[in-house]
Chain A
Amino acid sequence: MRNPIADKVKDIQPSGIRKFFDIVSEMDDVVSLGVGEPDFDTPWHIRDEGIYSLEKGRTFYTSNSGLRELRVEICKYLKRRCHVEYNPDKETLITVGGSEAIDLAMRVMLNPGDEVLIPQPSFVSYLPCAVLADGVPKIIELKAENEFRLTKEELLEAITDKTKLLVLPFPNNPTGAVMRREDLEAIAEVIIEKDIFVLSDEIYSELTYDVEHVSIASLPGMKERTITMNGFSKAYAMTGWRLGYACGPQEIIHQMTKIHQFAIMCAPTNSQYAAVEALRNGDADVLEMRNAYNGRRRYLMHAFKEMGLPCFEPFGAFYVFPCIKEFGMTSEEFAEKLLAEERVAVVPGSAFGACGEGYLRISYAYSLEDLRIALERLRRFVKRLKAI
């Protein structure tokens, strides 16, 4: 029989820590710090709207680009929170999670051989999406001494004649790093001068602490070369609703909508109705969750300091990224040992790119009670290692 699998697909490497995940899922009594989604339930009034939409029999497709009502609310929201104005009819597409927007943007923008710059450590989807879109991923290794922010120099060094697109994943999963306004201004200059585009993944935009989130599209000259993608998963604790969106230049969004129409049809209708409620009346919920995350973030930073585990202070998302290089183990070895000896699950930094080696991603999307237990075990573990 002929090989049913396309070479392009076969060559994509599965996530290197699949094995580790399998071990974790088979163990009982594991305290996990490995989750990449909020611990909060979706606020009740939002769930209620979802239920209501079902009761009312709103069980049909919406338009391909999504409910107009929701697109209007998204544009109002982006103007209010991110200071960028988009047209709800021509510059907005509602997608199945932010992930679909990443996939669509790559497929729409890349010709075979076009290079995509992907700063790492970062979310695992960018690279395979670039490859599937016939692009050539080029990794920029972010550095701990820059607190994992992308610098102008790093960007300049990575750009070639073939560079078309830069992925900008901030606030960052897994490092928690955020780009300040001045950081963005510095790279925007390069982006405009070199005539490349930006896919700005701002899914964690509502989760920044003590600092303001800045959308790169709000900088002069950047809106016309940026696709801003965001969604409801992290801000409103709506991961399972699978709802995100992309906003950007009309010609790009138009083409993304075309593929979305053929591949997906439309995002889930009842999720869209729930999302309208989230944007209209969800500010207080976001604030409450942000405050809770911020407290836990401080709590974790404090605990690491006490343990003597070096960690830069992250101001975004819900992760901290401590360094474990001093123990002479790889991230994966450390994580496996921690799991075996103390039954605490964390994600090795290397899962997010080679330059994440020597770090751990620790999530604080957990209640304080859970964090307390997990940190106590981690403390014990680190103490033992340090005594050797």
Chain B
Amino acid sequence: MRDQILTFIEKNSRVDLGELAVLLGSDEVTVANEISRMEQEQVICGYHTMIDWDKTGAEKVTALIEVRVTPQRGQGFDSIAERIYNYPEVKSVYLISGAYDLMVILEGKTLREVSGFVSDKLSTLDSVLSTATHFILKKYKDHGTIFAKKNKDERMLVTL
């Protein structure tokens, strides 16, 4: 039940609960209770909206920043990660295996703003050894959602 609810609302969190209950062969109260339990247990941590900002007038720049850091005794990467994710302009922080340690996703209004953040705030942190900044040029697909125009149904209207 949980898995089924999560699979569904991961793609569409705005689904009508009555309708979701019908789809899962359950009833609305059960589904609503299960969802609120998952919210309390922080299985569900929040609800977001997928926005294609390119289609709006808003100017936005997204950057992926690879960060190499020195882990700290007793705390590993957690405290430096926290230091970074507390900045509101930081969208995501992941600990990564491989050539660098943290992947930071940053959103800013302009290139200057992003590069300013990297040079003034990120690089100057004591445990940060180096950074490499990649700017995102175009988003094709995000969180499993394809931003391109939807394909038309090309099937014949009626087949036996």
Taking Cβ atoms with an 8 Å cutoff, the residues of A that contact B are 15, 20-21, 24-25, 30, 32, 34-37, 39, 123-124, 173, 291, 294-296, 298-299, 302, 345, 347, 351-352, 368, 370
Contact = CB atoms under 8 A, between A and B. Distances in A.
23 contacts: A20-B158, A21-B158, A24-B158, A25-B156, A25-B158, A32-B157, A34-B157, A34-B159, A35-B157, A35-B158, A35-B159, A36-B159, A123-B160, A124-B160, A173-B160, A291-B4, A294-B25, A295-B8, A298-B23, A299-B22, A345-B157, A347-B160, A370-B153
Nearest to A303: B22
Contact of B158 (A299, A347, A352, A368): A347
B132 interface: no
Chain B, interface residues (CB within 8 Å), range: 10 to 19
A59 B41 CA distance: 55
Contacts of A34: 157-159
A352 to B, nearest CB: 8
Nearest to B24: A295
A352 B7 CA distance: 37
Nearest to B7: A291
Given A295-B24, A296-B23, A298-B22, A24 B157 contact: yes
B155 interface: yes
B19 interface: yes
Nearest to B158: A34
A296 B22 CA distance: 9
B157 A36 contact: no
Interface string B124-160: 0000000000000000000000000000010111111
Contacts of A302: 22
Given A34-B157, A35-B155, A295-B23, 5 more contacts: A21-B158, A30-B157, A37-B155, A295-B24, A370-B153
A39 B155 contact: yes
Contact of A15 (B19, B24, B25, B160): B160
Nearest to B4: A291
A296 B20 CA distance: 10
A351 B22 contact: no
Contacts of A295: 8, 23-24
Contacts of A294: 25
